[in-house]
A = this chain, B = another copy of it.
Amino acid sequence: MTLPHTNPPNRLLLGGGPTNIDSRVLRALLAPLVTHHDPFFYEVMNETQDLLRYVFQTKNALTLPLSGTGNAGMEAALRNIAEPGEEVIIGVNGFFGERMVEVATRVGIKPIRVEAKWGSILKLEDFEAAFKTSQAKAVALIHGETSTGIQQPIREIAALAKSWGAYTIVDTVTSLGGCMLNVDAWGIDICFSVSQKCLGSLPGLSPITVSERAYNAILNRKTKVSSYYFDLIELERYWSEERMYHHTAPILMIYALQEALRIVQEEGLEIRWKRHRKNSQGLIAGLEALELELFAQKENVLPSLTTIKVPGTISEIKVRQWLLDNFNIEIGSGQGPLNGKIFRIGLMGVNSSEEKVMLILEALTRALKKQGYNIRMGAGMEAAAEYYDSVS
């Protein structure tokens, strides 16, 4: 009998994520399924946690992949650290900062907004002012704003929070495994991310790590965490040697994450950060030669995701559709108020390579020319090549 097959297009995923997956990671999905309390799976859990500690650069005991997506990590971080009615300062300079305000409000937290223009970083002095006029239990901000391509400095803000006796929550959804990050050295209390971006696994898991200080704060809450599924202390009882049943882990996804993390470790985290930065710089050199303007402040660009203003006369959607139809390449559109105004090009995990930079520069040039943009084919690639030669 012949059966109809799900036959997805073979896309090159150069948007905001997910990114393409190494075949080693896919192969790990095919390993025999065991249950969530099999001794073999406990070994997988232990190694996965050690590897997560490595990519987060932390010694935190409570380090595990949540059974949900990045939004689950955001909710778990906020729901665990703050009790209903407590204040949390939230940095808002993009779509996901706004999302964090929404998620916090839903869980009963009073959000104190610290804002900056979309495409700029948040400023330390604005957090200082917010601490002075609030009773904030924590500060929450986004390391790599996926909507704007901004990389936010964290260290000083975390130190400030600590000086006020507050905790620091950092969303590293678009940065973990691709951009410099050091949870312990930077004084981050709760850091969460996703499996499907710079770590290069499939979407569905949200790695999270919690400092001892934050762990104790959660233990000493006056009220129970208002979700059993996201209760980090209960989850830790399953992920630690106690092996207390909590829920059925998404076992095959954890096999895949383990393999993806092994790949990160084999490459070496610092080399991987350098690779992402180099290819981001190569892409930017090419984009500038194409007379395209970056959306994010150049001194704070996120190595994993580059944002570009759509030239005045060009239809953003037509360019993206042309790339999809003709090159099977997906790049990202603008989110929220940036819809139609910017392109977002992600170079994450396996896709952060010179080869992909050259391909997207030429494909984009061709797509723009089809829409009447007046630029010479090859100009972007030449500038990128010059950059690569200069740093090799």
Q: Using CB atoms and an 8 Å cutoff, list the residues of chain A in contact with chain B.
A: 3, 6-11, 13, 15, 17-18, 20-21, 24, 26, 28-36, 38, 40-41, 44, 67-72, 75, 99, 102-103, 105-108, 194, 196, 202-204, 224-229, 231, 245-253, 255, 258-259, 262, 330, 335
Decide: A33 near B9, CB < 8 A? Known: A250-B69, A253-B253.
no
Contact of A247 among B69, B248, B252 (CB under 8 A): B69
Verify B35–A30 contact, CB threshold 8 A. no
- A18 CB → nearest B CB, Å: 6
Decide: A38 near B330, CB < 8 A? Known: A26-B30, A228-B102, A245-B335.
yes
Further 8 A-B residue pairs, CB within 8 A, beyond A6-B255, A8-B44, A75-B229: A8-B33, A8-B38, A8-B41, A15-B35, A21-B33, A67-B204, A69-B249, A105-B224
- List of 9 A-B pairs having minimum Cβ-Cβ separation, nearest first: A204-B250, A71-B247, A8-B32, A10-B32, A106-B228, A202-B252, A69-B247, A103-B228, A203-B248
A24 contact set on B, CB distance < 8 A: 3
A255 contact set on B, CB distance < 8 A: 6, 8
| Cα–Cα distance between A376 and B154 once the two chains are bound (Å) | 70
Query: Which B residue's beta carbon lies closest to that of A95?
Result: B245
A72 contact set on B, CB distance < 8 A: 67-68, 229, 247
Contact of A9 among B32, B108, B204 (CB under 8 A): B32
A75 contact set on B, CB distance < 8 A: 227-229
| Cα–Cα distance between A227 and B228 once the two chains are bound (Å) | 12
Query: Which B residue's beta carbon lies closest to that of A71?
Result: B247
Verify A251–B35 contact, CB threshold 8 A. no
A-B pairs with beta carbons under 8 Å apart, 22 shown: A6-B44, A8-B32, A13-B34, A13-B35, A26-B30, A29-B29, A30-B30, A35-B330, A69-B247, A69-B249, A69-B250, A70-B247, A70-B248, A71-B228, A71-B229, A71-B247, A106-B231, A107-B226, A202-B250, A203-B251, A226-B226, A245-B335
A3 contact set on B, CB distance < 8 A: 24, 262
| Cα–Cα distance between A42 and B17 once the two chains are bound (Å) | 17
Verify B44–A32 contact, CB threshold 8 A. no
Decide: A248 near B26, CB < 8 A? Known: A31-B8, A32-B9.
no
Decide: A258 near B226, CB < 8 A? Known: A204-B67, A204-B250, A248-B17.
no
| Cα–Cα distance between A3 and B24 once the two chains are bound (Å) | 10
| Cα–Cα distance between A41 and B187 once the two chains are bound (Å) | 40
Verify B204–A258 contact, CB threshold 8 A. no
A102 contact set on B, CB distance < 8 A: 228
Decide: A202 near B335, CB < 8 A? Known: A68-B229, A228-B102.
no
Of listed A9, A35, A229, residue having the most chain B CB within 10 A: A229
A194 contact set on B, CB distance < 8 A: 248
